[in-house]
């Protein structure tokens, strides 16, 4: 709120800086929104608090590197297509493989835990996080690995604001994904997922295959994490590429989940953009350089604490989260 | 036809809750399953529909067949696809979803778009109130409307057998009448019904056959005429007792047993 006031005061003084701040905040917020949404979908559908979301992000980003630059698959067989189309095909393949890994992780490590205490399952995801992150980091190595994005460092200069092409693409992709997920939730499988999220036993009584719902939820969560991992690893975020710290971005998205209310998908989206904009505003206006480079990372948590003081269940959360 | 034979169910590997019960629901009939609280009615339903696993329950003996096929170990979805549908105790509507989405969830196993459309029309005809409130959030419906929605949802997969667990529970007398008439209507359209009730009056007034269970055992069965005439049933289930507070069969049996031990 205080941040908001400062933002407004400064904005009237300096329109350009405000617009620039918003562009940065919205595009970074999109990354948080994708991560938060995946986290919430997994939590709602399967009742698992997934502390391995960071590992999924790092893994997804690394898969993009692997498919886009190392393997060049399936791009190497698409020689009649332009470079950017080959790259896109590679990245989409990486996303699909990331989704498969999500399904696999749930099936192997978490399915046997169905019915155990929420807490015990959360601890298992912590273990998964460490294992997956360690293995992924071995593959990444010590040097950052660029993803070879075709848009490179190109920007659009509108005079009053500068937007990177990557930001444009990222915002468009995020909006498309939000719409796609909203539409998915209205399909037969989506209805089954919402039913399962609300009451597993009753969903099973309707003939819903709850195991399949779990698989779909993890596929979506891991897919969204991979998309977020890609966009976090390009200019103007971390243009050097994917490295061993990429996975930690998920922790900066965690406040977005709580702000949104833990069990609300629209809440996750709003929370994601709120945290992105708050961080961007703090960078632009508050100039906390003396607090060190880590400061943007805590803005989300500060915002989270303020929101929780006013609304203990987040902006869109259910006061009492049901246990199934 | 549904046939349960000599069914034994244990919770948590130790608590024996059903001690060898048998019952049959022939095609197209209404069968009532009566019993007081804790008799094991809901457990019987869970065994028939495959939901025991979520309650740490296991079938340890006996067999459940539907149209001749042994379904004792099948998963719930497979049983739904065979045409067994249930209205769970306490309605259990998906409160955060709209009426329409509740119905769509009920149609999950029904992959034929035309059949789904027909089923929805049938539900809307049976429950005109639901038609008016298609886009309302289910949690905001009244208790009676939620019960109608739960029944409507169960009809969306066009079941051969509909099992209802205490559908009259917590409803005003007028609504109980309404639920009763709906069940008769559903049955007359060709669906067999297993009606689990504590309200013996209501259930026996429409049933073709009735079973009475107590602490995990069938203690009596027969056609409604016979059950309604039975003095014990009158006393314990129909509230027609002459001697003050209500007792249960269990008390009688204990009393008789004790007397036998004493003599
Ligand atoms: N999940 C469970 N674990 C252990 N015991 C249970 C469980 N569910 C029900 N019971 C016990 O089984 C008996 C029968 O319960 P239930 O089938 O719900 O009876 P009804 O539906 O006739 O009221 C009761 O004594 C109840 O306490
Ligand atoms: Mg019961």
For A166-217, the pLDDT digits (tens) are 999 999 999 999 999 999 999 999 999 999 999 999 999 999 999 999 999 9
Question: Is B109 contained in some domain?
Answer: no
Residue A184 makes CB contacts below 8 A (sequence gap 6+) with A190, A220
Task: Find the residues whose C-beta lies inside 6 A of ligand 1.
Answer: B 11-12, 15, 17, 35, 37-43, 55-56
Residues of B in contact with A195 (CB under 8 A): 94, 97, 105, 108
The answer to the question of residue A322 being in a domain is no
Please indicate, yes or no, if residue B42 is contained in any of the structural domains. yes
Q: Is the residue at A320 inside a domain?
A: no
- The total number of structural domains in chain B stands at 1
Residue-wise pLDDT for A211-260, tens only, equals 999 999 999 999 999 999 999 999 989 988 999 999 999 999 999 999 99
Q: Is residue B76 part of a domain?
A: yes
In a domain, residue A147? The reply is yes
Residue A319 in any domain: the answer is no
Q: Which residues face B65 on adjacent strands?
A: B3, B70
Question: N- to C-terminal Cα distance for chain B?
Answer: 46
CA distances to A174, A231, A273 from A170, in Å: 6, 7, 13
CA dist., res. A3 & res. A87, Å (int): 40
Q: Is the ipTM, as predicted for this complex, more than 0.85?
A: yes
Domain assignment present for B23 = yes
Chain A residues with CB under 8 Å of B81 CB are 207
Residue B154 domain-assigned?
Answer: no
Residues in CB range of B243: below 8 A, 6 or more apart: none
Determine, yes or no, domain membership for B187: yes
Strand segments (E) across chain A:
155-157, 162-164
Per-residue pLDDT, averaged over B169-189, amounts to: 95
Q: Does residue A280 surpass a pLDDT of 60?
A: yes
What gap in Å lies between CA A305 and CA A276, rounded to an integer?
16
Residue B6 lies in a domain: yes
Q: Of A108-112, A130-134, A296-300, B160-164, give the lowest mean pLDDT range.
A: A296-300
Going by alpha carbons, the residue nearest to atom 18 of ligand 1 is: B42
Query: Minimal Cα–Cα distance from A324 to chain B, Å?
Result: 10
Q: Considering only alpha carbons, which residue of chain B is nearest residue A203?
A: B105
Domain presence at residue A200: yes
In a domain, A88, yes or no: yes
Q: Rounded distance, CA B222 to CA A147, Å? A: 75
Contact between residue A294 and residue A248 where contact means Cβ atoms under 8 Å apart: no
Q: Which CATH number goes with the domain that contains B222?
A: 3.40.50.300
Number of domains in chain A: 1
The CATH number that applies at residue A84 is 1.10.3470
State yes or no: pLDDT of A304 exceeds 90: yes
For the stretch B213-256, pLDDT in tens is 999 999 999 999 999 888 777 777 765 544 444 455 555 444 43
Is residue B98, in this structure, part of any structural domain at all? Answer: no
Name the token pair of A255: 């406040």
Residue from A50, A62, A83 nearest A214 by CA: A50
- Residue predicted with more confidence, B263 or B164: B164
User: What is the pTM assigned to this prediction?
Assistant: 0.89
Structure letter (DSSP) for residue A146? -
pLDDT at residue A45, rounded to an integer: 95
DSSP A233-264: TSTTT-TT-B-TTGGGHHHHHHHHHHHHTSS-
Which residues are within 8 A (CB) of B184 and not within 5 positions of it... i.e. 6 or more apart? Answer: B30, B206
Sign of CA dihedral B224, B228, B231, B235: positive
Question: Is the per-residue pLDDT at B66 higher than 80?
Answer: yes
DSSP helix/strand/coil, B171 = coil
Mean pLDDT along residues A58-77: 96
Structural domain harbouring A235: 2-310
Question: Could you give the percent of chain A with pLDDT greater than 70?
Answer: 91
The B2-11 sheet, strands edge to edge: B15-25, B2-11, B57-66, B69-70
- In a domain, residue A184? The reply is yes
Q: Does residue A324 fall inside a structural domain? A: no
Residue A320: burial class (beta carbons within 10 Å; 0-12, 13-18, 19+): exposed
What residue numbers bound the domain in which B179 lies?
2-83+159-230
Q: CA–CA separation, A296 vs A251, rounded Å?
A: 12
Q: Which residues of A touch B95 (CB under 8 A)?
A: 198
């Amino acid at each position: 709120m205080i941040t908001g006031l400062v933002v407004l005061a400064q904005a009237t003084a300096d329109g350009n800086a405000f617009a620039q701040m918003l562009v940065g905040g919205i595009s970074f917020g999109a990354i948080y929104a994708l991560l938060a949404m995946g986290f919430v979908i997994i939590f709602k559908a399967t009742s698992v608090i997934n502390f391995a979301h960071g590992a999924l992000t790092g893994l997804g980003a690394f898969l993009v590197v692997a498919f886009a630059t190392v393997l060049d698959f399936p791009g190497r067989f698409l020689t009649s297509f332009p470079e950017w189309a080959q790259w896109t095909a590679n990245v989409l393949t990486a996303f699909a493989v990331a989704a498969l890994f999500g399904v696999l992780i749930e099936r192997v490590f978490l399915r046997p835990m169905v019915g155990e205490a929420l807490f015990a399952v959360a601890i298992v995801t912590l273990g998964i996080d460490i294992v997956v992150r360690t293995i992924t980091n071995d593959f990444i190595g010590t040097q950052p690995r660029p993803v070879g994005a075709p848009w490179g460092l190109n920007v659009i200069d509108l005079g009053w604001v500068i937007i990177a092409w990557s930001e444009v693409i990222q915002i468009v992709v995020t909006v498309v994904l939000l719409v796609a997920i909203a539409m998915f939730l209205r399909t037969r499988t989506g209805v089954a997922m919402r039913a399962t999220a609300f009451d597993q036993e009753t969903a099973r009584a309707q003939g819903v295959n709850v195991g399949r719902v779990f698989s779909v939820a993890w596929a979506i969560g891991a897919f969204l994490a991979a998309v977020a991992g890609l966009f976090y690893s390009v200019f103007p975020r971390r243009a050097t590429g994917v490295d061993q710290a990429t996975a930690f971005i998920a922790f900066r998205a965690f406040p977005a989940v709580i702000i949104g209310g833990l069990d609300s998908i629209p809440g996750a989206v709003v929370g994601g953009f709120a945290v992105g904009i708050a961080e961007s505003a703090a960078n632009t206006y508050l100039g906390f350089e003396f607090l060190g480079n880590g400061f943007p990372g805590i803005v989300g948590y500060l915002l989270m604490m303020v929101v929780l003081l006013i609304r203990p269940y987040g902006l869109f959360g259910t006061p009492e989260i049901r246990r199934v | 036809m549904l046939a349960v034979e000599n069914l034994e169910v244990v919770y948590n590997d130790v608590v024996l809750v059903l001690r060898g019960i048998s019952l049959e629901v022939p095609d197209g009939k209404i069968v009532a399953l009566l019993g007081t609280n804790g008799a094991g009615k809901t457990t019987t339903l869970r065994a028939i529909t495959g939901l025991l696993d979520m309650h740490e329950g296991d079938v340890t003996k006996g067999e459940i067949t539907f149209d001749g096929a042994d379904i004792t170990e099948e998963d719930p979805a497979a049983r739904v696809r065979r045409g067994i549908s249930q209205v769970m105790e306490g309605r259990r509507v998906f409160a955060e979803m709209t009426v329409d989405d509740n119905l769509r969830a009920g149609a999950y196993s029904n992959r034929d778009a035309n059949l789904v459309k027909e089923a929805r029309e049938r539900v809307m005809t049976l429950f005109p109130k639901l038609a008016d409130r298609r886009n309302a959030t289910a949690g905001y419906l009244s208790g009676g409307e939620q019960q109608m929605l739960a029944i409507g949802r169960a009809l969306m997969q066009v079941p051969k057998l509909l099992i209802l667990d205490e559908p009259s529970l917590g409803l005003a007398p007028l609504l109980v009448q309404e639920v009763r008439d709906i069940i008769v209507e559903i049955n007359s359209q060709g669906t067999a019904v297993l009606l689990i009730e504590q309200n013996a009056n209501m259930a026996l007034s429409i049933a073709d056959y009735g079973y009475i269970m107590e602490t995990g055992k069938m203690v009596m069965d027969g056609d409604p005429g016979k059950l309604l005439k039975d003095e014990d049933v009158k006393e314990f289930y129909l509230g027609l007792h002459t001697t003050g507070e209500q007792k249960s069969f269990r008390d009688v049996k204990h009393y008789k047993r004790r007397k036998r031990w004493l003599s």
